[in-house]
Structure 1
Amino acid sequence: MVNRVEATPATLALLEQLKRKHGPLLFHQSGGCCDGSSPMCFPQGEFMIGDHDVLLGEIGGCPFYMHEKQYDYWKHTQLIIDVVEGRGGMFSVEGVEGKRFLSRSRVFTDEERAELQQS
């Protein structure tokens, strides 16, 4: 089965470290003004998911949400969440680790799109 969101091994390793430090986490990618379209990672319960947020799936046991307007732009792609050195979103928990999450993407194949439409 194809997933709408995946994570690199480096992302999964950092998530394990962050979960030990902060407990259960979630991601939200809004495309908002403060941090552009960076995937932001928050302790669960510290970010309110809204009625217009779409659950894309989970990475490393962490739910990954995106605002529906942003989803309209990205729905034809699989998001691959990666981690790189450097400071990212000031509200995202990985920032103090000197790392930041970023979204890479690839366009779904015709077969993958058909599979997603059936689910």
Structure 2
Amino acid sequence: MMEETVNGEPRVLATDAAIAFLREIRRDHPNVLFHQSGGCCDGSSPMLYPASDYIVGDGDVKLGEVDRVPVYISRSQFEVWKHTQLILDVVPGRGGMFSLDNGRERRFLTRSKIFGGGEVACAIPGIAS
């Protein structure tokens, strides 16, 4: 089993704005999960799905939880970003086509930080900073 922390730091966390937005969405969809998109149709956004609509497979890694909501990433993407903390945030805009943030004029965004190395100053392919 993969540790959900690196040197005591969680692999994934969320800003206060992201948690507030997540709670707003959970009023309509109480049982949800995040999956960090790998950059296909909807870029590299954290996608929020009803838990019953997304089948977590052997190729997915659970990074941790934010506000009791599990956050997953594909195993291949995790191998590339295992030294990076993901920080879920919210910004103006449209969410991914199949994500529950779509149509709410705000969307989730992933920022990143290298463990032990401070904030990432530039965009990293596959992860928004």
Which category of TM-score, normalised to the shorter sequence, fits these structures? 0.7 to 0.9
Q: State the Cα RMSD in Å.
A: 1.2
User: Distance in 2 between the 1:104 and 1:42 partners?
Assistant: 19
Q: Using the TM superposition, give the Cα deviation of residue 32 of structure 1 relative to its aligned residue in structure 2, in angstroms.
A: 4.4
Query: In structure 1, what residue type is equivalent to 2:19?
Result: L
Matches within 5 A, 1:28-47: 28-47=35-54
Select the structure that is richer in helix.
1
Identity of aligned pairs, percent? 53
Q: Please, what TM-score do these two structures have when normalized by structure 1?
A: 0.87
Q: Which ranges in structure 2 are unaligned for 5 or more consecutive residues?
A: 1-7, 118-129
Could you report, residue by residue, the CA deviation over 1:77-113 in whole angstroms, capped at 9, with x for unpaired residues?
A: 1000000010121111011211111110010018xxx
Q: What count of residue pairs does the alignment treat as equivalent?
A: 110
Greater RCO, CA 8 A, separation 6+: 1
Residues 1:24 and 2:36 are matched in the alignment: no
Query: In structure 2, what residue type is equivalent to 1:66?
Result: I
Residues 1:54 and 2:61 are matched in the alignment: yes
Q: Please, what TM-score do these two structures have when normalized by structure 2?
A: 0.81
- Secondary structure of the residue aligned to 2:53 is coil
Structure 1 segments of 4 or more deviating over 2 A?
none
